[in-house]
Amino acid sequence: MKLAGYTLKFEKKENFTGVEAAVISVLAILFALFLVGIIFLQAGVDPAMGYYEIFSYAFLNPFGLPLTINRAIFLLLCTCAFIVPMRAGLWNIGMAGQLYLGALSAFAVAFAFGARSDAELPAGVVLPLMVLGSAVGGAAAGAIPGLLKGKFNTNEIVVTMMLNFIMFWLVSHMIKEGGPFMGSGGEGEGYRLPASLQPQPNLGVPFTFWFAIGLTVLLHVLFAKTRIGYQIRAFGLNPAAARYAGVSPFKISLLVFILGGLIAGLAGYHYFGTVPGLFKIPKNYGDFGDLAFYGIICGLISQGNPLAAIPLAFLFGGLTSGGRFVQGKLQLGFGIDYAMLGVLMIILVAFQFFFRYRIVLKKDKER
Amino acid sequence: MWEFWVRSLNASTIFTVAALGEIIGQRAGILNVGVEGVMLFGATISFMVAKTTGSYLLGFLAGIAVGALIGLLHAFFSITLGGDQVVNGMGIWILGFGLTAYIGYPFTGPLGLPRIPTIAGLSPFFIFSVLLAVLMWFFLFKTNMGLKLRSVGENPSVAEVSGINVARTRYLSVIFSGMLMGLAGSIYALDYNPVWNYNFLMGWGFIALALVFFAMWNPLILLGGSILFGVLWQVSLNPEALLPNVFSRYIWRTFPFVITIAVLVMMSTRWFSSRWGAAKPEALGLPYEKD
């Protein structure tokens, strides 16, 4: 393309630096938020005011901030669940199903200890087992696509998506219409954990916060320092070459999906088991499955870097909690957080281009 | 019983039309995993237009048009920008999922138009879908243009050398593929179940995607697969007709999804692929750059 004596060219690039990646990502987010601003305008809301309301509710408001933190932990776990298979070149879009099964398993543990009666339970024993249960449940849901991918090379996108629906209905079966986990109100909700199994937030954050941060750091170490992390990355970059180097595709597929599912399972326990006011599988549990798709966005923006996912999880935790709030306050239509999800995703996809090409502006030679 | 079969065939119509769209795109070498997203767009826009104008025709046209537009977007990302087609498809799906939840929300509820006339309960679109499948098969395997289209999906460099414009063929295929997916969404929203709710497709697009693998990229096998899944879907909605009081109705709803996984696994075993696996377009999912 020629512009006023300059030539604009796209040149293919083989790699990009961390700074370049960060700049492209920030630009993509800003551009997407600009487009969502147009949605605000179209709904008759001043975008500047809309964003001011969103961010001030999400990060400054005493009611909004805990909500943001809880969502951020949830998103961070979902992002890590997406990132681990992504580093091996595989798509885990089954975070929703994995977190449903994780939550069901955690509640099954409590159920086995008799949590439906209001008995005093030994929290020191039951809570760790619930956390463990959610991890095992999530890992089991993750093991299915991992096993099928590793053994039969079955398309993991379709399998994880199918499992999302299967687990969605399984939760309904358990909590609705006489299901074993049905709450006493009979309103299609799960039973509520007894007071002894309701961990209270410490310094405003639930204990799962430290879990999530710890896991993120561990993942970073796994990828950066360990042999298996190196094998995962090698497999993701070039499966054929990795196979010649002795990396087993079966082992890698199974491992990354079990690990991803395990982390997503914890996200299920985190939201339904530790957030004050919930402590049950709510009627609208499907909303949290939808929220888990933000994990794909965080994962793509962070380019698979777990540490970069931490600030992103807070940003999107805030945007979604604030988005829900302004919806009511400014009388926007339902689902501004869903619209944001869609716009962010497609802009990110468009901006992938800049990871592969650089724009070169050259002054034409004087003739 | 008639009622059950007719509902099954009507459901199969949507799988057939959407999967035919995916087949033509994949035959030209472009994978679109965002079928569900395009269908959600087609369904929502056609529903909004039909409800506002009161005209079915305008509704369907709008659904097809928005499908074409999304197809164009996918083509631009995948052909011109040469990005990873799975990433692009995911983008299309989440865009459809998110944006239609927002724009369609004020239209939540029934359509409120007289139902499209049926033939003893059978939707006229079923007949249309059968004809379309046969036509598509004829086009792909019996015409010169179909051969060109398939060669683009098998080996684009060779196709280019033999004088076929790869980019143009792929663009046209992907746009047409989007139109069919948009139409499939419109048939769902205007004919099969004319009640709008957010994300109401609940996986139909992903099943259509799986059906393409199941059908080995052949429109006629697809027709059989769609009818099978239409029946499964109806069984899962009304299990009483088949096996009363075995599972809760929620467990029955998992039925088509479980079968999809089982079928996909069977398809991907070495036993199966060594016998039938050659059908997969060779260049599927690979970006092509002219040298």
DSSP assignment of A124-188: HHHHHHHHHHHHHHHHHHHHHHHHHHHHH---HHHHHHHHHHHHHHHHHHHHSTT-TTB-TT-SS
Chain B interface, best mutation among A346, A351, A352, A357, by max B CB count within 10 A: A346
Beta-carbon separation of A342 and B251 below 8 A: no
Same domain? A278 vs A179: yes
Chain B hits for A155, CB-CB cut-off 8 Å, are: 210, 213, 264, 268
Is a pLDDT exceeding 70 seen at residue A367? Answer: no
Asked if residue A196 belongs to a domain, the reply is: yes
Same domain? A344 vs A311: no
- Supply φ then ψ for residue A7, to 5 degrees: -110, 130
Please report the pLDDT score of residue A2 as a whole number.
Answer: 65
Is a pLDDT exceeding 70 seen at residue A4? Answer: no
Same domain? A164 vs A263: yes
Asked if residue A41 belongs to a domain, the reply is: no
Please report the pLDDT score of residue B136 as a whole number.
Answer: 96
Query: For chain A, what is the mean pLDDT?
Result: 89
- B168-222 pLDDT tens trace: 999 999 999 999 999 999 999 999 999 998 888 888 999 999 999 888 899 999 9
Separation of first and last alpha carbons in chain A: 18
Tell me how far apart the alpha carbons of residues A259 and A85 are, in angstroms, rounded to a whole number: 8
Q: Is the dihedral of CA A156, A82, A77, B206 positive or negative?
A: negative
Instruction: Give the helix ranges, DSSP H, for chain A.
Output: 18-42, 47-59, 64-87, 95-112, 123-152, 156-175, 208-225, 227-237, 239-244, 249-274, 285-291, 294-301, 306-329, 336-351, 353-356
Please report the pLDDT score of residue A109 as a whole number.
Answer: 94
Give the gap in angstroms from C-alpha A217 to the nearest C-alpha of chain B: 26
Name the residue facing A159 among B73, B264, B270 (closest C-beta): B264
Beta-carbon separation of B87 and A300 below 8 A: yes
Q: Does B271 touch chain A (CB under 8 A)?
A: no
Chain B interface, best mutation among A45, A298, A338, by max B CB count within 10 A: A338
Furthest CA-CA distance within chain B: 63
Beta-carbon separation of B268 and A154 below 8 A: yes
Least confident segment among A187-191, B38-42, B254-258: A187-191
Same domain? A360 vs A262: no
Tell me how far apart the alpha carbons of residues A115 and A59 are, in angstroms, rounded to a whole number: 35
Name the residue facing B77 among A39, A290, A349 (closest C-beta): A349
Least confident segment among A50-59, A113-122, A172-181: A113-122
Please report the pLDDT score of residue B29 as a whole number.
Answer: 93
Specify the residue for token string 């970073």.
A220
The mean per-residue pLDDT over the stretch B149-172 comes to 92
Report the residue of chain A nearest B259, measured CA to CA: A162
Report the residue of chain B nearest A338, measured CA to CA: B98
Name the CATH superfamily, with its identifier, for domain B2-111+119-279.
ABC transporter involved in vitamin B12 uptake, BtuC (1.10.3470.10)
Kindly state the percentage of chain A with pLDDT values over 90: 54
Chain A interface, best mutation among B250, B265, B268, B280, by max A CB count within 10 A: B250
Tell me how far apart the alpha carbons of residues A150 and B274 are, in angstroms, rounded to a whole number: 18
Is a pLDDT exceeding 70 seen at residue B278? Answer: no
Which residues are CB-neighbours of A214 under 8 A, at least 6 positions away?
A: none
Is a pLDDT exceeding 60 seen at residue B230? Answer: yes
Is a pLDDT exceeding 80 seen at residue A8? Answer: no
Is a pLDDT exceeding 60 seen at residue A172? Answer: yes
- B29-59 pLDDT tens trace: 999 999 999 999 999 999 999 999 999 999 9
Q: Which residues lie across from B190 on neighbouring strands?
A: none
**CATH number for the domain harbouring residue A268:** 1.10.3470
- B120-148 pLDDT tens trace: 889 999 999 999 999 999 999 999 999 99
Chain B hits for A336, CB-CB cut-off 8 Å, are: 102
Same domain? A288 vs A139: yes
Chain A interface, best mutation among B81, B100, B257, B258, by max A CB count within 10 A: B257
- Supply φ then ψ for residue A90, to 5 degrees: -115, 150
Q: Does B33 touch chain A (CB under 8 A)?
A: yes
Give the domain extent around A246.
46-331
Tell which wins on pLDDT, A92 or A362: A92
Beta-carbon separation of A346 and B92 below 8 A: yes
Same domain? A199 vs A138: yes
Is a pLDDT exceeding 60 seen at residue A366? Answer: no
A16: left (phi over 0), alpha (psi -120 to 50) or beta: beta
Instruction: Place A1 in a pLDDT band, splitting at 50, 70 and 90.
Output: low
Please report the pLDDT score of residue B144 as a whole number.
Answer: 94
Please report the pLDDT score of residue B276 as a whole number.
Answer: 67
Beta-carbon separation of A352 and B87 below 8 A: yes
Please report the pLDDT score of residue B227 as a whole number.
Answer: 94
Same domain? A52 vs A179: yes
CA-angle at B118, arms to B114 and B119, nearest 5° = 155
Give the gap in angstroms from C-alpha A123 to the nearest C-alpha of chain B: 32
Same domain? A137 vs A274: yes
8 Å CB contact between B288 and B28: no
Same domain? A106 vs A242: yes
Q: Does B135 touch chain A (CB under 8 A)?
A: no
Kindly state the percentage of chain B with pLDDT values over 70: 97
Question: Taking CB atoms and an 8 Å cut-off, how many pairs form between chains A and B?
Answer: 146
Please report the pLDDT score of residue A196 as a whole number.
Answer: 85
Instruction: Place A115 in a pLDDT band, splitting at 50, 70 and 90.
Output: confident
Tell me how far apart the alpha carbons of residues B54 and B114 are, in angstroms, rounded to a whole number: 10
- A214-233 pLDDT tens trace: 999 999 999 999 999 999 99
Q: Does B263 touch chain A (CB under 8 A)?
A: no
Q: Does B195 touch chain A (CB under 8 A)?
A: no
Name the residue facing A293 among B94, B203, B260 (closest C-beta): B94
Please report the pLDDT score of residue B216 as a whole number.
Answer: 87
Is a pLDDT exceeding 90 seen at residue A45? Answer: no
- Supply φ then ψ for residue B209, to 5 degrees: -60, -45
Q: Does B80 touch chain A (CB under 8 A)?
A: no
Please report the pLDDT score of residue A119 as a whole number.
Answer: 72
Tell me how far apart the alpha carbons of residues B24 and A172 are, in angstroms, rounded to a whole number: 37
- ipTM, two decimals: 0.90
Please report the pLDDT score of residue A161 as a whole number.
Answer: 92
Work out how many domains chain A is built from and give that number. Answer: 2
Specify the residue for token string 């805990």.
A66
Same domain? A114 vs A196: yes
Beta-carbon separation of B95 and A159 below 8 A: no
- A268-295 pLDDT tens trace: 999 999 988 888 899 889 989 999 999 9
Give the gap in angstroms from C-alpha B255 to the nearest C-alpha of chain A: 8
Instruction: Place A3 in a pLDDT band, splitting at 50, 70 and 90.
Output: low
The mean per-residue pLDDT over the stretch A61-88 comes to 94
Kindly state the percentage of chain A with pLDDT values over 70: 96
Which residues are CB-neighbours of B188 under 8 A, at least 6 positions away?
A: B14, B39, B43, B201, B204
Chain B interface, best mutation among A152, A293, A351, by max B CB count within 10 A: A152
Please report the pLDDT score of residue A92 as a whole number.
Answer: 94
Same domain? A73 vs A214: yes
Tokens linked to B131: 């004809």
Name the residue facing B105 among A161, A165, A334 (closest C-beta): A334
Report the residue of chain B nearest A176, measured CA to CA: B250
Tell me how far apart the alpha carbons of residues B24 and B218 are, in angstroms, rounded to a whole number: 10
The mean per-residue pLDDT over the stretch A233-262 comes to 92
Q: Does B262 touch chain A (CB under 8 A)?
A: no
Query: For chain B, what is the mean pLDDT?
Result: 91
Please report the pLDDT score of residue B269 as a whole number.
Answer: 80
Please report the pLDDT score of residue B283 as a whole number.
Answer: 85
Kindly state the percentage of chain B with pLDDT values over 90: 67
Name the residue facing B98 among A93, A166, A342 (closest C-beta): A342
Tell me how far apart the alpha carbons of residues B127 and B185 are, in angstroms, rounded to a whole number: 17
Tell me how far apart the alpha carbons of residues A11 and A360 are, in angstroms, rounded to a whole number: 7
Is a pLDDT exceeding 90 seen at residue A120? Answer: no
- A333-348 pLDDT tens trace: 778 888 888 999 999 8
Same domain? A20 vs A131: no
The mean per-residue pLDDT over the stretch B100-118 comes to 90
Specify the residue for token string 């985190």.
A270
